[in-house]
Chains A and B, each alone.
Chain A
């Protein structure tokens, strides 16, 4: 049997937005004063129309969906979110043994365990966001196929519910951090700590951007789903998680600095551990990159959102 796939033409994505229209524009023959359309469905949507206003009106749904994801994940588990504690501790421990004890990679004089945990905490959030949102279309196909609401609500809810797990991991990090601080290790926490919310926002934004980009591309080509695993692994080794930037040879450092995640990890460690070889001003580059990625991704996501049902 020949397998047939049905898909609609490119360019048949459409857009809906709240629009007040004048009767003269509509050109309808009916009662002119009453011609006020609130919803207009067209094949085309202007590329600059991100539909963020509509998303804001559905914030209630986002909140409920976060709750749903959370409940669904932890129901019938005794420890619930506390399950994030064990992997965090184990992976940081393994990193310490392998990279610090065996490979003797420098951690700029900070306790290796804490160094790896710091990197890990943010990295897990990033990779969690990417993986969770990269399947937006495929895992929500059922619900997307039945009801209309801003499609972005789902990936955004994923990002927020992932924040819970990063919160738990961060709590574990804080416990160890306090322990090392009190036991007199060489830690120099400083005011850069206050940058934490911004750092989380950058990571969330980049995770969302990368994730929905992949999810939009996978509606057409499943290849990208496979590519994602490889890409994430490369991104992890391309970011200063298991090594400090100071450890990178001078002539290769520009590559690491090109990575928009680098300033985030470095700024995080600067705040809590007091060591960094990257000027915190580079965080502005990360913010700029995050905004650009998010903007481009949302445009592509919006283009894919209305036709994906025909292709998936």
Chain B
């Protein structure tokens, strides 16, 4: 059984907005006076300022983290991520609630804390280490490793003011990375140094987690959260919207942050309308396991299912769907009965029907789409048909969980389709 090392219980943090406590005693006194005597001030702003200008940066946030786990925290700007981290790293206090933790908590809200430009690299390593809570013998033991990792050996005894900014940051990060706390709080520190150093940092972080360290990682980079974190917490306006496996949380987060209008679920139920001879009752999207999903991986096939009702016996009926892109461009069309084969457009009697179509994997590009389903009666000629019923806007999203598109360097090309099929490559001749 895994052991809980951080337990956040109903933590709330309130800030008060407004003009009270502007920093001088006089203005506070004046506001107090205005409030007490209910004096209508000359400017309406002042009397207004006493109103309930409170803001909950966090509201009853509860979650727990297990030992050795890497938990990602996602959310839009202002969702309360930073406040949460600040409370966890004990920089500011909660208004209510309790956080319990086991072991030393270290935070890397920003690297290089306490570095002084006049001190040498060596002195700064010790100072920075001490600020981060390391004992002197610990720093001594790891000193060579830290210097080696940072790659600034030759300058270790020069004042850091002579360092290049890259060296400075690398040294600062190295100290933090060798901290060996029980719980590490990271806030987008991977974006440090050049590419090779970033890679080194990442590997170091992975090694740190493997050594049993628990990590809380806040990032806007959903890719890295999905890649490194087992689980994730999604904060929205100070509340936990979702906690679970990081791939689920990031996918769901992605869906909500996409500019989809009227974000319904990818299942649409329609109320009965008996005036229609044929009516579509529901449209839904399934993955291959039969679960309703909003998200379809690029590499997975999915099923569009349409339930409908015939109120009259009808001929030449085609049930079909169109997949529209978020730019309202028709991407793909599929009909249950290809018009060309009119022999299959047989008579249908009154009743309930269900049509399913499997959309193969590796066709649609990453993006947000919506399904438009319809029932059409085709004429005997090729003149087209009559639309009997149509329903619009059942959304779903195609995502790239594995990261194929990203690895190929095209996260979201404007292409609607992305045909991921093997290419034949053959060697022709030496040059």
Which residues of A come within 8 Å of B, CB atoms? 2-9, 12-16, 21, 26, 28, 30-31, 34, 36-43, 58, 60-61, 64-65, 67-68, 71-72, 75-76, 142-149, 220-223, 306-307, 309-311
Contacts A9-B14, A221-B23 known; A38 to B102 CB distance under 8 Å? yes
Which A residues lie within 8 Å of B97 (CB)?
A: 43
What are the interface flags for B88-99 relative to A under an 8 Å C-beta threshold, 1 for contact and 0 otherwise?
A: 111111111111
Distance in Å: Cβ of B90 to nearest Cβ of chain A: 4
Contact B99 A40 (CB under 8 A): yes
Which A residues lie within 8 Å of B92 (CB)?
A: 8, 306-307, 309-310
Contact B102 A36 (CB under 8 A): yes
* Stretch in B132-140, B147-155, B197-205, B376-384 with 4+ CB within 8 Å of A: B132-140
Contacts A41-B93, A146-B91 known; A4 to B19 CB distance under 8 Å? yes
Give which listed residue, A12, A26, A60, A144, contacts B136 with CB less than 8 A. Answer: A60
Could you jot down 16 A-B contacts, CB within 8 Å? A4-B17, A4-B18, A6-B16, A6-B55, A8-B95, A41-B100, A58-B133, A60-B135, A64-B126, A75-B118, A147-B89, A147-B113, A147-B114, A221-B28, A306-B92, A307-B92
How many Å lie between the Cα of A31 and that of B360 in the bound state? 47
How many Å lie between the Cα of A7 and that of B45 in the bound state? 19
* Stretch in B1-9, B71-79, B350-358, B419-427 with 4+ CB within 8 Å of A: B1-9
Distance in Å: Cβ of B282 to nearest Cβ of chain A: 40
Taking CB as reference atom, which chain A residue is nearest B90? A148
Contacts A6-B15, A71-B123, A311-B21 known; A16 to B90 CB distance under 8 Å? yes
Which B residues lie within 8 Å of A34 (CB)?
A: 3
Contact B22 A5 (CB under 8 A): yes
Contacts A60-B130, A60-B136, A68-B119 known; A146 to B103 CB distance under 8 Å? no
What are the interface flags for B260-283 relative to A under an 8 Å C-beta threshold, 1 for contact and 0 otherwise?
A: 000000000000000000000000
Contact B131 A14 (CB under 8 A): no
Bin chain B's interface residue count. 35 or more
Cβ of B144 under 8 Å from chain A: no
Contact B99 A41 (CB under 8 A): yes
Taking CB as reference atom, which chain A residue is nearest B134? A60
Q: 8 tightest CB-CB pairs across the interface, nearest first?
A: A14-B93, A148-B90, A306-B93, A61-B130, A41-B99, A37-B100, A39-B101, A12-B95
Give which listed residue, B18, B25, B107, contacts A148 with CB less than 8 A. Answer: B107
Which B residues lie within 8 Å of A220 (CB)?
A: 21, 23
How many Å lie between the Cα of A72 and that of B86 in the bound state? 29
Of A34, A144, A311, the most chain B CB neighbours within 10 A belong to: A34
How many Å lie between the Cα of A63 and that of B133 in the bound state? 13
Which B residues lie within 8 Å of A307 (CB)?
A: 92-93
A-B contact count (CB 8 A): 165
Of B1, B102, B107, B131, the most chain A CB neighbours within 10 A belong to: B131
Contact A12 B45 (CB under 8 A): no
**B:13-47 near A, CB below 8 Å:** 13-19, 21-26, 28, 45
Give which listed residue, A14, A147, A221, contacts B109 with CB less than 8 A. Answer: A147
Other than the known A31-B3, A148-B91, what 15 A-B pairs have Cβ atoms closer than 8 Å? Answer: A5-B18, A6-B17, A12-B93, A37-B7, A37-B101, A38-B103, A40-B101, A41-B99, A64-B123, A71-B116, A145-B91, A147-B91, A148-B89, A220-B21, A221-B28
Give which listed residue, A2, A28, A61, A64, contacts B45 with CB less than 8 A. Answer: A2
How many Å lie between the Cα of A2 and that of B20 in the bound state? 12
How many Å lie between the Cα of A26 and that of B3 in the bound state? 15
How many Å lie between the Cα of A61 and that of B99 in the bound state? 26
How many Å lie between the Cα of A16 and that of B104 in the bound state? 12
Which A residues lie within 8 Å of B87 (CB)?
A: 41
Taking CB as reference atom, which chain B residue is nearest A72? B118
How many Å lie between the Cα of A43 and that of B1 in the bound state? 31
Distance in Å: Cβ of A24 to nearest Cβ of chain B: 14
How many Å lie between the Cα of A40 and that of B92 in the bound state? 14
Taking CB as reference atom, which chain B residue is nearest A29? B4
Cβ of B127 under 8 Å from chain A: yes
Give which listed residue, B25, B93, B114, contacts A221 with CB less than 8 A. Answer: B25
Cβ of B105 under 8 Å from chain A: yes
How many Å lie between the Cα of A301 and that of B22 in the bound state? 20
Taking CB as reference atom, which chain B residue is nearest A227? B25
Cβ of B110 under 8 Å from chain A: yes
Which B residues lie within 8 Å of A222 (CB)?
A: 23-24
Contact A40 B24 (CB under 8 A): no
How many Å lie between the Cα of A219 and that of B55 in the bound state? 21
How many Å lie between the Cα of A146 and that of B87 in the bound state? 11
Distance in Å: Cβ of B195 to nearest Cβ of chain A: 26
Contacts A5-B22, A220-B21, A307-B93 known; A39 to B100 CB distance under 8 Å? yes
Which A residues lie within 8 Å of B123 (CB)?
A: 64, 67-68, 71
How many Å lie between the Cα of A30 and that of B5 in the bound state? 11
How many Å lie between the Cα of A299 and that of B110 in the bound state? 29
Contact B13 A146 (CB under 8 A): no
Taking CB as reference atom, which chain B residue is nearest A61? B130
Distance in Å: Cβ of A91 to nearest Cβ of chain B: 28
Which B residues lie within 8 Å of A145 (CB)?
A: 86, 91, 109
Distance in Å: Cβ of A240 to nearest Cβ of chain B: 32
Distance in Å: Cβ of A154 to nearest Cβ of chain B: 10
Which B residues lie within 8 Å of A310 (CB)?
A: 15, 92
